[in-house]
Structure 1
Amino acid sequence: MTNGIKTVIIDDEPYSRDELSFLLEQYDEVDIIGEADSGEKGLELIMRKEPDVAFIDIEMPQMSGMELAQALKNMKKTPIIIFATAYPDYAAKAFRVQALDYILKPFDEENLQETIELVKEKLNWDASSTGKTQAPAIGKLAVEDNGRIVYLSPSDITYLFREVRETIICTKDHQYHSRTPIKEIEEKLKGYPFFRPHKSYLVNLDKIEQLIPWLNGAYQVKMQGSKEEIPVSRNYVKELRERLEL
């Protein structure tokens, strides 16, 4: 049973579904429970799964996203509708069918984050309401490396980041490549001092050396033993400082 915001993606373009799915996977509060490649299959999926949110493309053959949204209005439990499309001209029609938001392809991470915040507000969603409890983490993180399984102590990990379809795990002396999504690794590291300053990064708080002002209220962090400066989204600066400072 899922404890997050139950979400489905309906789009006839596989690349767009994959891109949106990848971006949504970065949010701990979002659980993707299904995908469909047509309006008809999307309607059946929504009736069967009863999601909280549906991301729907507009331009689809046979049943369009608009027609799907109209059909959903007759349901007892209607999901929140977010239109995800390459065409800006449909915005007015989108809101006439009571869509909560309208995001354009190619997807912008900041815009998507604003959309997720709107969804959470609409649902009165709070992480504490999920009833999840997290046992203290023990053991080591298993990572494949040239056919071997290497066991990393969390304290040896400096930071992780997502690159295309891989998660890169950085220690002082080595980089390990994993196919495991960063969100899943973050769950495994619960109980250790790791923090998500940006959707694509997870850092070890014990390895942060500097917090450097950057642009428009955003910051970057410098990690021990690394020349790379990692971005900190504006929404996370306050929480990061609270976690870091006495």
Structure 2
Amino acid sequence: MIPVVCPSPLAVMIVDDEAPARTRLRDLLADLAPELPNELVAEAENGFRALAAIASRRVDVALIDIQMPRMDGIALACRLSELARPPAVIFVTAFEAYAVQAFELNVVDYLLKPVRAKRLLTALQKVRPHPMRMPVPLASLQQTARSHLSCHERGRLLLIPVAEVIYLKADLKYVTARTRDREYLLDESLTHLEQEFGEQFIRLHRSVLVARETIIGFEKSSSDDAETQWQAMLRDIPERLPISRRQWPLVKSCAHHLTP
């Protein structure tokens, strides 16, 4: 007779500076236990206490608020990701504005308060440990491409829909994202953006990616630069972007979608 190996309960930590919020999550976890066995192994009201708690016990997943005193949830998630066996992270917050920054940290999910039991169950099922295996590390969870980019500007976090970006241009340590209305400075590398959004953007030049669907035509370059012979004409803006000789065959192949 082959023995049945039952999965161990999901070890959960709650981190929130508000006691009612912790109580709400505690009650939801208890309600979900028959469907998804779990064990609340620690609670903390800020990031520092959370780090102290996780040092002495196994935690599979941390449910973390973002706006907390002393150490906020974003900083805590960064610290947790540095651990040898980091827990998965699910943010639980009342604010939508942090969503892009959260997914840049490869969190499992992003739940808005008040949290519903079904929504929490869906998030927890993404990190349920497989029988006889270690919990899924934070860094190994696969994320789809973001729907928004983030720009820190004068103390604000601005969210830029990727669908509205016409081109991305590298300049020193920043990348400029150009929409129809304005430019935004991103603290990201062009190489990383190309890897993440390769299906939406195509490289024109070593320092420029352009949204494929915004190319409306090509014209001969009037520049003396031997590297560029053609320029891309773009929808909604008058700028022409140079195309390197190396990239020209690939860019030209996109011409099949152009409308006459």
TM-score (norm 2): 0.45
TM-score (norm 1): 0.48
Larger radius of gyration: 2
